[in-house]
Amino acid sequence: MRALISLSLATLLLAACGSQPPAPEQDPAGVESRSPGAVKVETPRVTQVKPEQFDPNSIAALKDPRSPLSRRSIYFDYDSYVVKDEFQGLLGAHGKFLAANPKMKILIQGNADERGSREYNLALGQKRAEAVRKALTLLGAREDQLEAVSLGEEKPACTEATEDCWGKNRRGDMLYSGEF
């Protein structure tokens, strides 16, 4: 009798542990408040777009929000002009685009947060712009397609005196022909 119970339990255990494909994910439910005057907030659905669903070398890809080419800012750590690994793919897409479109040009604007002197921030902004320019040339763009300038702290994306805000200001912005 014990053997039969042990065998039954082992079978149930193995059946429960069997590998089955995971159930497809469901959309997360929206958030609803039960307080008077409540408004139902729905979670936006984010769709993943495969790179082959658009032509990465077309001019339209620059404005297509599904394209990595629509992202134009590279962010830097405090007091640094080293391009982070997380931006290599983005720079690679822009480098390939420039190689495929030799008439296109980019203006790279290096920016800094408000901390530091004006002279220091102008120099740091220039180093950031040059770091982006160098990365793009290594990834396929030609030198004559790229111009690097510093705006220092003169064009902040955010004006609050917080670390999060300063992080948004430590960047290199890429502007294509016709945008500058």
Rounded Cα distance between 100 and 176, Å, is 14
Would you state the pLDDT for residue 145? 98
Rounded Cα distance between 134 and 137, Å, is 5
- 61 neighbors 97 (Cβ within 8 angstroms): yes
Confidence (pTM):
0.69
Would you state the pLDDT for residue 68? 95
Question: Cα Rg for the chain, rounded, in angstroms?
Answer: 25
Q: Which CATH number fits domain 83-180: 3.40.50.720, 3.30.1330.60, 3.40.50.150, 3.40.640.10?
A: 3.30.1330.60
Domain boundaries along the sequence of the chain = 83-180
Would you state the pLDDT for residue 28? 46
Give the CA distances from residue 20 to residues 11, 25, 106, 129, in Å, rounded to whole numbers and listed in that order: 16, 15, 50, 50
Task: For residue range 32-70, list pLDDT tens digits in order.
Answer: 444 444 444 344 343 444 544 557 778 899 999 999 999
Q: What is the dihedral of CA 55, 172, 75, 128, to 10 degrees?
A: 130
76, pLDDT greater than 90? yes
